[in-house]
Amino acid sequence: MTVTAPAPKHRRLRTEIPGPASRALQERRAATVAAGVSSVLPVYVTSASGGLLTDADGNTLIDFGSGIAVTNVGHSAPAVVDRVRKQACWFTHTCFMVTPYEGYVEVCEALGELTPGTHEKRSVLFNSGAEAVENAVKIARVATGRQAVVVFDHAYHGRTNLTMALTAKSVPYKHGFGPFAPEVYRVPGSYPFRDGLTGEQAAAAALEKIEKQIGGDQVAAVVIEPIQGEGGFVEPAPGFLPALSRWCAEHGAVFVADEVQTGFCRTGDWFASSHEDVVPDLVATAKGIAGGLPLAAVTGRAELLDAVPAGGLGGTYGGNPVACAAALGSIETMRGENLASSARRIGEAVLPRLRALAAETGVIGDVRGRGAMLAAEFVRPGTTEPDAELTARVAKACHALGVVVLTCGTYGNVVRLLPPLSLSGELLDEGLSVLEHAVRQEISR
């Protein structure tokens, strides 16, 4: 049986958002799905193609979220679908730790080629970003024989016990879930809009804390998002990441780049670390790696990964063959369509419009981002005081008009744009016009 998914070309609203069919599903959900798992926009999706989502009421929405930076190649990208289909026919699971298969090895080969640096590398595959980050810490601890892990203000690294400890924000990610893993130390990062520091100054402040409060010879790993994701799409000032990376090299600490959200062409490079020529010792990846199937990886220096004895890393599903097939299809698409340059084009189209909107309205204190990882930080006019309430209203207004945008930020005051990198100029333009309209509408209320 050949199944062909519907592939609409335009935003089309047939009912209010969410419509009656989605609302009925939402009622069923409330009676059976745990309240602790929430949804930004409860329209129930029946199909998705390129940059469009179609819901149970027949509405078609523009997707500026990509399932949180996952479908970088677009929904139902042909190379992903074809490879998944074939792999699902051949076999869906053996467990790589029992009887291995080529797809896993091919994904690790690709990761070795694509991640920054030309040194000898190894990779290990997992299921989620949190699992990848957690394993990067395990690897760093075994390889260094040290325990301390340094993380930053506004960081987000996941929801498992160790990654909750690495994550900064309490509500909703940590509140009530303690006790948290020990030997995790938080220091200030670089948030140019709020700290006004150069990259060198911010790094000096962070490094002073590390040296005074932990001691350079105690640090196993410095774990950092090259651009912070959930914390507010915070792009560090130039020089910050290189200074930390240099410090790690000088002190025998492992520099771990959490590229879970920034990876796979999202920021206009294969990886955001490359923007300042930073070569991490370990890179954690997930999300965009496999076009929507659950896959994650740690890639890095051979001597670090090979320090862990056999059996120390792995898991039943890590590097599942169908997920590996999806990753190979996704990487093939990114290479073939040069999606890194598409991401840069998206940034060039979006940033001037967000800046103009900021100048016009006065409610956006900072416009930032790189490639197709873009953000507007909402504040009360003339101040840096976060305006989370307006941010939520703007997002809601976009949703009502059929554009899926997400918010983020420690203060909940950032609208973030993460469109699929393959999104057409026409849909990008239309989605932006909706966002502009939503901001104007909400400030005139």
Q: How far is the CB of 404 from ligand PMP (least distance, A)?
A: 16
Q: Which is nearer to ligand PMP, 17 or 265 (CB)?
A: 265
157 binds ligand PMP (CB under 6 A): yes
Cβ neighbors of 21 (< 8 A, separation 6 or more) are 44, 55, 56, 57
Measure the CA–CA gap between 205 and 184, rounded to whole angstroms.
Answer: 18
Distance of closest approach, residue 258 Cβ to ligand PMP, in angstroms: 5
Closer residue to ligand PMP, CB minimum distance, 158 or 386:
158
Least spacing, CB of residue 344 vs ligand PMP, in Å: 21
Decide if residue 261 touches ligand PMP (CB under 6 A): yes
Kindly state the tokens that stand for 295.
């896959």
Binder among 48, 107, 125, 133 for ligand PMP (CB under 6 A): 133
Q: Which of 13, 45, 63, 34 is nearest to 418 (CA)?
A: 63
Burial group, residue 351, by CB count within 10 angstroms (0-12, 13-18, 19+): middle
Q: Would you say 293 and 73 are in contact if contact means Cβ atoms under 8 Å apart? A: no
Based on the shown chain and the rule CB under 6 A, indicate whether residue 65 belongs to the binding site for ligand PMP.
Answer: no
Which listed range, 184-192, 258-266, 267-275, 313-321, lies at the site for ligand PMP (CB under 6 A)? Answer: 258-266
Q: Does 236 bind ligand PMP (CB under 6 A)?
A: no
**CA 103 – CA 321 distance, rounded (Å):** 6
Stretch that binds ligand PMP, among 12-20, 56-64, 255-263, 302-310 (CB under 6 A): 255-263
Q: What residue has token string 């390889």?
A: 143
Residues 2-61 that bind ligand PMP (CB under 6 A): none
Residue ranges in 284-313 that form contacts with ligand PMP under rule CB under 6 A: 286
Q: Please report whether residue 235 would count as binding ligand PMP according to CB under 6 A.
A: no
CA angle 225, 229, 235 (to 5 degrees): 65
> Beta 282-285 vs 296-301: how paired, if at all?
antiparallel
CB nearer to ligand PMP: give 19 or 65: 65
**Tokens describing residue 444:** 């005139």
Q: Amino acid identity of 115?
A: T
Give SS3 for 283: strand
> Under the criterion CB under 6 A, does residue 275 sit at the interface with ligand PMP?
no
Q: Contact between 72 and ligand PMP (CB under 6 A)?
A: no
Looking at 8-16, 124-132, 171-179, 418-426, which segment touches ligand PMP (CB under 6 A)?
Answer: 124-132
Q: Where are the alpha helices (DSSP H) in 37-101?
A: 66-69, 78-90
Size of the site for ligand PMP (CB under 6 A): 15
Q: Considering only residues 64, 96, 156, 271, which one is a binding residue for ligand PMP as defined by CB under 6 A?
A: 156
Alpha helices in 214-300 (DSSP H): 240-251
> Per residue in 373-405, is it b (16+ CB within 10 Å) or e — as a string?
bbbbbbbeeeeeebbeebbbbbbbbbbbbbbbb
* Residue 128 in contact with ligand PMP, rule: CB under 6 A: yes
DSSP 8-state code for residue 234? B
368 binds ligand PMP (CB under 6 A): no
Closest distance between ligand PMP and the C-beta of residue 322, in Å? 17
Q: Does the footprint of ligand PMP cover residue 230 (CB under 6 A)?
A: yes
Residue range at the interface with ligand PMP (CB under 6 A); choices 123-131, 194-202, 232-240, 274-282: 123-131
Q: Whole-number minimum distance, CB 56 to ligand PMP, in Å?
A: 25
CB of 260 to ligand PMP, least distance (A): 4
326 CB-near residues (< 8 Å, 6+ apart): 80, 83, 84, 290, 291, 292, 293, 295
Contact range with ligand PMP by CB under 6 A, out of 80-88, 142-150, 224-232, 423-431: 224-232
Among 130, 184, 327, 434, the residue binding ligand PMP under the rule CB under 6 A is 130
The first and second tokens of residue 388, run together, are 């989370």
Rule CB under 6 A: which residues touch ligand PMP? 68, 128-130, 133, 156-158, 225, 229-230, 258, 260-261, 286
